[in-house]
Chain A
């Protein structure tokens, strides 16, 4: 009865609180909002698909965690905070009833709030008009499972944590901190770090309390799954729920045990830890008080002028800073983050399992993040800012000190700015923590090249400005709203609208608070072209921030009159001449900088919204798609004069194309595709022509020749291209031509011939809107596609003179014929020794150069190798040269000659680490050079292998063998490049090192992804092309040997390596491989190439007994199954009778790097259980099925098992 009364009182009390309804409102509005803006990417997925409900539930749960700690917090601490506890604690109520009633009320309220999420989701499709075709059937089981498996357990666990924290610390705020720090931040972080350390994604599923691991895998679901799959309580998820419920119950039990219905002794956990070193001196007895003391308060001067106001502001700032420092999360949260970064720096700084140097760039990635980036641990900084802004604004009122402090002769400016500076100070301290991490990490790793000055600039210049702008917003919102929880909610809503601005239709950075066009720093570029625009945007936002401050100051709540009407009246008193002046200055700053920015972004540059760009792309196809297949002259030769002006950020190009009519019909019309961002002019043909159409916006012009170009005839086309950077755009600043590190590809700037199919819109949902048919990669089985020369595939004779500023090196494709200096500029003349594919780049920077040559011992051919690199990034040059030479040696021997006399390796400016291969050129991004290999000789050589991969592209994909633009093209280029470089790595470094590469590839199988993929032959995505393909070819070498596979590839390139149509397809590769494979293993090729097969191989038992001194008999019980996964993700078991390796290994010995196989042979393995008995000459330690992972199996851990000796058991029995 008492329990029921406590419960119902608490429940109804909270229902009468405004904040409860606000939390309920958020939980209700959020799904409405998200379901309205969330367009499903795939048309086949219904808007009300269960997967979307799961996504929204997880997302709304996070919002709930961030906002709603107050419910449990207040339920747990209201009596103490309202000082009611002397009355309530002395009632004859047991601890269990008191706590139980309060907890249950909080839990039920939270459960109710969670319930509003699915309700809102359901309603969202009824209160707005939705195309009924986009809605699936109502599926109650989806709502029930999501609520009862996901929401309700989270509500219970989180309420328990919040409640326990609040009750034990006797402070409602602890509930907030507990839920914000633990759930959305700490656990995913711990989970990810743990997963990275242990390499086990299952661990993430076990730890994650919110459902991120489920939401994260939704992308891998097939449309069928998205529409139908509901959450099932099984596997790791079941354990997860069980574990978290246990933790919650344990926490509640602990709370019950620790809680006392007693007067709280004011102490912090800190002082409890310290065990009170200094005892409180008892208050002095006042026996001598009555003596009549003369009051003698000294008369002192007092000041109320400007200096006094400054002094007061500083005092308030210092005091505000002090409260934050002394509060629970003030220093700890960011401090822990920094410590965590230092401790796990090695894990953070790792790429594909290879340690990376803590370079300036890598440190910046760790320590800085855009204010609008919500997927970073650094999001706790804006969170804390918002939180403490509320604490500071409400500080006096919550302490009950406002009646005193409000009567102090202090101006509202001092109060407002004091608190702002207090926040600024704590932000400085937080950034200081990050700075310490940025200094300590390189020191602990023994790296000396990190640029501390850059870190200081980025943290205390850029990040600090952003955080200050946000702090000002948060403070002002709290002042204006004048209700703490509502204030927090408003800030979170504003923050979300900043993060998802584009989703709600706000794209221009002039309209998104505190935003900027983005910035980055790299060693080559420095802060490059980003700093100026960034600064303009910040000046603009500072103007707005001042206005916000003015408004907040005018409406600052002082005294008891806090209703809006009274506050408005007060503003009239507060609006002084200084206020007017400040407002005028702020408006002036906004107008001035805003106008300048607008002039840059919308006048000098073309401002388009995302939908406008989509529209343009669609228009291009709608208007000019009809020219897709008309005969056009083919590009045969290119002659260019490229003038790069890095300082002026411009490039002028004059060019001449030689075009030839390779069709059987005369051609009278030439279609030219131009680039919208540049000015293409002076178009001239070497014969009379007419200009029919110039569409600069869509980049298409049409010319007719007075005399048609006859089949076999050629003509010349000359043009001018001017690329001049004018001002800056509102986002996505173009870094093509910059001070140091210019880089552009031909199709970025130069005109192309004919309709450009690659510009077409890909998203089928959007295509439908514009009445365009569905887009798909052209079919593998249509021979017309295979003979078509796509833009970029034309074989051209190339020559260029490239000039740049003095001191820089300009690089183009081909061999350097000559270089000279003229009028203070450097000139470089390049030409290629054989025709190249029409795909090439230009570079210009202050490069260091390294030259080498490789001579083919068989043919005597000499290849000039030139490397251009940023002078500070020279560490791996030797390794690269070795990789290039080894590549030439191996590939020429195995696959055939290299057709050119030169190769150029260039470092590209920019953060990205990827490498590109173009004919005779390989380029890599700056981060590529950051692998720390010298100190970690165990690591995969992530310099040698990628360079070998790119050089292999000179045979596969970039030059020689060009893939047809159809399905499976990635197999012909990337699979073969990866396979060839794997062979080279094994040749150079041995099998053990190659295994590291294979392991790295296999790792991608562990990342959650859909198993419903296309077979290799029709591969279209990177995962299949880069991972499954080379693993399949590697397995094939283990089954049929290396030479047959290499020979098949050699035959392939002999047939298709001319670079001319018909181009090679995955079918051609498959045909050669089939020819090299014996009949008994053809099934394996089919499983790998034609089907989407997964094996499930498991060793259930491995026993051994010693037969005589040197012979052991091993008995293996294995289980095998083979399944085909179809396009809906369904598994269909197929009968198996495959050759699978069975291996038995000797104990691991220190001097050997891996265990020695005692036995390794292929056995016929059927589906199901089977027993294999083998005698080996040596003591076995480990044994099992497919120990080298040649077959695709998602669970590799159970392939082998430690061998159990028969004798071991006996001994145990005897002992007992």
Chain B
């Protein structure tokens, strides 16, 4: 099954253009949507999750017209929004069971089985009798995952899922997703580069409503081989370096500043070559050296 997004645009009534002619082809497997806050990720996710309608464009999921056959989409959709609440007085097990019915798992035995499996997978089994009002942020997030996983969705949309999770939970959650990605389209939006680099077979970088780059992470990293250079400088030198070179990122390390620059040849000047990673791909794309963003518009 493939998710085919064609020329989607969305402008809010306050004039903000959240999506500009976005087109993407998303195959089975994990697909990372990377972008800074406010890039338009959530809008795209909500459109895919049948919660919003774009101004124009079309979306196909296999042979389902996502925009006009919402009921069909919902039957095969798993959605974990960026922010969500729960019924504070409901017990975890009861609410999951409730959602299982809404997802069409009407047979009691099957439902019981699924609910138990999901609660165990999300490590909520021991607290299944507790009220959701007392759950921590991470527990709530895992509960949301369990709800999203109900009914083995063919289209899974997860919007910044790892934000509230501790490192161990995060790993566990990402594992769950990648397992699911074997048979489904899993679209993961995030601003954390590691999420994508560790899991996703394909990715897109989005900013200001436009897709800047669509690539396979490994190939994208490969493409930067030999073009990223590094130097540790004093803070006072930073502006000079920025003036002289295409700085893509700066980072503090033990009180001094590590500067990464993009350069197709050796810049000299004490810069050393580094093996690029996905973060470098991201920053290079955001600063317009690769991808669809033209440098002049970026400056």
Whether A289 pairs with B147 at a CB distance below 8 angstroms is no
Among B89, B99, B180, the residue within 8 A (CB) of A326 is B89
Whether B84 pairs with A401 at a CB distance below 8 angstroms is yes
Among A287, A326, A408, the residue within 8 A (CB) of B102 is A408
Whether A400 pairs with B85 at a CB distance below 8 angstroms is yes
Whether A303 pairs with B106 at a CB distance below 8 angstroms is yes
Whether B152 pairs with A299 at a CB distance below 8 angstroms is yes
* A312-B151 CB under 8 A given contacts A284-B123, A323-B89, A404-B144: no
Is the CB of B118 closer than 8 A to any CB of chain A? yes
- Which range holds the interface residue count of chain B? 35 or more
Is the CB of B107 closer than 8 A to any CB of chain A? yes
Among A286, A295, A559, A560, the residue within 8 A (CB) of B166 is A286
Chain A residue numbers with a CB within 8 Å of B87 are 323, 395, 399, 401
Measured between C-beta atoms, what is the minimum distance from A569 to chain B in Å?
8
Measured between C-beta atoms, what is the minimum distance from A272 to chain B in Å?
14
Whether B51 pairs with A297 at a CB distance below 8 angstroms is no
Whether A280 pairs with B179 at a CB distance below 8 angstroms is no
Measured between C-beta atoms, what is the minimum distance from B114 to chain A in Å?
6
Is the CB of B103 closer than 8 A to any CB of chain A? yes
Whether B130 pairs with A290 at a CB distance below 8 angstroms is no
Is the CB of A1149 closer than 8 A to any CB of chain B? no
Among A283, A287, A295, A561, the residue within 8 A (CB) of B52 is A561
- CA distance in complex: A400, B84 (Å): 5
Interface residues of B in 129-155 (CB under 8 A from A): 130-131, 133-134, 136, 139, 144, 147-149, 151-152
- CA distance in complex: A287, B46 (Å): 35
- CA distance in complex: A399, B113 (Å): 27
Interface residues of A in 284-328 (CB under 8 A from B): 284, 286-287, 289-290, 292-304, 307-308, 311-312, 315-316, 319, 322-323, 326
Chain B residue numbers with a CB within 8 Å of A766 are none
Is the CB of A407 closer than 8 A to any CB of chain B? yes
* A410-B168 CB under 8 A given contacts A266-B88, A300-B114: no
Whether A408 pairs with B99 at a CB distance below 8 angstroms is yes
Whether B136 pairs with A404 at a CB distance below 8 angstroms is no
Whether A266 pairs with B175 at a CB distance below 8 angstroms is no
Is the CB of A893 closer than 8 A to any CB of chain B? no
Residue among B70, B77, B118, B136 with the most chain A CB within 10 A? B70
- CA distance in complex: A266, B130 (Å): 12
- CA distance in complex: A301, B75 (Å): 12
Chain B residue numbers with a CB within 8 Å of A217 are none
- CA distance in complex: A410, B87 (Å): 19
* A400-B83 CB under 8 A given contacts A295-B121, A300-B114, A411-B71: yes
Whether A295 pairs with B168 at a CB distance below 8 angstroms is no
Chain A proximity mask over B90-115: 1 for CB below 8 Å, otherwise 0: 10000000110111111100110110
Among A296, A303, A395, A406, the residue within 8 A (CB) of B117 is A296
* A294-B179 CB under 8 A given contacts A283-B136, A289-B169, A312-B101: yes
- CA distance in complex: A513, B149 (Å): 45
Is the CB of B245 closer than 8 A to any CB of chain A? no
Is the CB of B252 closer than 8 A to any CB of chain A? no
Chain B residue numbers with a CB within 8 Å of A274 are none
- CA distance in complex: A312, B151 (Å): 15
- CA distance in complex: A307, B113 (Å): 21
Whether A297 pairs with B102 at a CB distance below 8 angstroms is no
Among A326, A395, A403, the residue within 8 A (CB) of B79 is A403
Among B50, B118, B152, B168, the residue within 8 A (CB) of A407 is B50
- CA distance in complex: A569, B8 (Å): 19
* A410-B102 CB under 8 A given contacts A280-B134, A292-B175, A559-B52: yes
Chain B residue numbers with a CB within 8 Å of A408 are 74, 99, 102-103
Chain B proximity mask over A547-579: 1 for CB below 8 Å, otherwise 0: 000000000000111000010000001000000
Is the CB of B185 closer than 8 A to any CB of chain A? no
Is the CB of A409 closer than 8 A to any CB of chain B? yes
* Complex: chain B residue closest to A415, CB-CB: B102
Chain A residue numbers with a CB within 8 Å of B147 are 404
Whether B171 pairs with A289 at a CB distance below 8 angstroms is yes
Residue among A299, A400, A401 with the most chain B CB within 10 A? A401
Among B74, B117, B127, B136, the residue within 8 A (CB) of A281 is B127
Whether B84 pairs with A403 at a CB distance below 8 angstroms is yes
* Complex: chain B residue closest to A295, CB-CB: B179
Whether B102 pairs with A405 at a CB distance below 8 angstroms is yes
Measured between C-beta atoms, what is the minimum distance from A574 to chain B in Å?
10
Chain B residue numbers with a CB within 8 Å of A400 are 83-86
Chain A residue numbers with a CB within 8 Å of B104 are 302-304, 308, 312, 409
- CA distance in complex: A280, B46 (Å): 36
Whether B172 pairs with A290 at a CB distance below 8 angstroms is yes
Chain A proximity mask over B238-262: 1 for CB below 8 Å, otherwise 0: 0000000000000000000000000
Measured between C-beta atoms, what is the minimum distance from A849 to chain B in Å?
64
* Complex: chain A residue closest to B76, CB-CB: A409
Chain A residue numbers with a CB within 8 Å of B114 are 297-298, 300
Measured between C-beta atoms, what is the minimum distance from B13 to chain A in Å?
8
Interface size of A by CB at 8 A reads 50
Interface residues of A in 356-401 (CB under 8 A from B): 395, 399-401
* A409-B84 CB under 8 A given contacts A266-B133, A304-B104, A560-B51: no
- CA distance in complex: A312, B71 (Å): 15
* A311-B101 CB under 8 A given contacts A281-B130, A284-B126, A407-B77: yes
Chain B proximity mask over A1159-1183: 1 for CB below 8 Å, otherwise 0: 0000000000000000000000000
Residue among A292, A300, A395, A401 with the most chain B CB within 10 A? A300
Whether A298 pairs with B113 at a CB distance below 8 angstroms is yes
Chain A residue numbers with a CB within 8 Å of B113 are 298, 300
Is the CB of B176 closer than 8 A to any CB of chain A? yes
Whether A403 pairs with B126 at a CB distance below 8 angstroms is no
Whether A559 pairs with B51 at a CB distance below 8 angstroms is yes
Among A302, A411, A566, the residue within 8 A (CB) of B105 is A302
Chain B residue numbers with a CB within 8 Å of A312 are 101-102, 104, 106
Chain A residue numbers with a CB within 8 Å of B101 are 311-312, 315
* Complex: chain B residue closest to A412, CB-CB: B71
Measured between C-beta atoms, what is the minimum distance from A576 to chain B in Å?
11
Chain A proximity mask over B173-184: 1 for CB below 8 Å, otherwise 0: 001100110000
* A286-B51 CB under 8 A given contacts A315-B102, A407-B77: no
Is the CB of B217 closer than 8 A to any CB of chain A? no
Is the CB of B68 closer than 8 A to any CB of chain A? yes
Whether A407 pairs with B51 at a CB distance below 8 angstroms is yes
Whether B176 pairs with A295 at a CB distance below 8 angstroms is yes
- CA distance in complex: A263, B75 (Å): 40
Measured between C-beta atoms, what is the minimum distance from A301 to chain B in Å?
6
Measured between C-beta atoms, what is the minimum distance from A58 to chain B in Å?
38
Is the CB of B161 closer than 8 A to any CB of chain A? no
- CA distance in complex: A1152, B112 (Å): 76
Chain B residue numbers with a CB within 8 Å of A295 are 121, 175-176, 179-180
Chain B residue numbers with a CB within 8 Å of A323 are 87, 89
Chain A residue numbers with a CB within 8 Å of B148 are 404
Whether B107 pairs with A297 at a CB distance below 8 angstroms is no
Chain A residue numbers with a CB within 8 Å of B133 are 266
Binding site for B on A (CB under 8 A): 266, 280-281, 283-284, 286-287, 289-290, 292-304, 307-308, 311-312, 315-316, 319, 322-323, 326, 395, 399-401, 403-411, 559-561, 566, 573
Q: Give 11 A-B contacts (CB < 8 Å), ordered by A residue.
A: A266-B88, A299-B152, A400-B83, A403-B81, A405-B102, A406-B50, A407-B77, A407-B79, A411-B71, A559-B50, A573-B68
Binding site for A on B (CB under 8 A): 46, 49-53, 68, 70-71, 74-75, 77, 79-81, 83-90, 98-99, 101-107, 110-111, 113-114, 117-118, 121, 123, 126-127, 130-131, 133-134, 136, 139, 144, 147-149, 151-152, 166, 168-169, 171-172, 175-176, 179-180
Task: Return the 10 tightest CB-CB contacts between A and B, nearest first.
Answer: A400-B85, A295-B179, A302-B104, A300-B110, A409-B74, A559-B51, A408-B102, A315-B101, A409-B75, A403-B81
Query: Given known contacts A312-B104, A409-B102, A560-B52, what 7 new A-B pairs fall within 8 Å (CB)?
Result: A266-B134, A302-B151, A303-B104, A319-B90, A401-B85, A404-B80, A561-B52
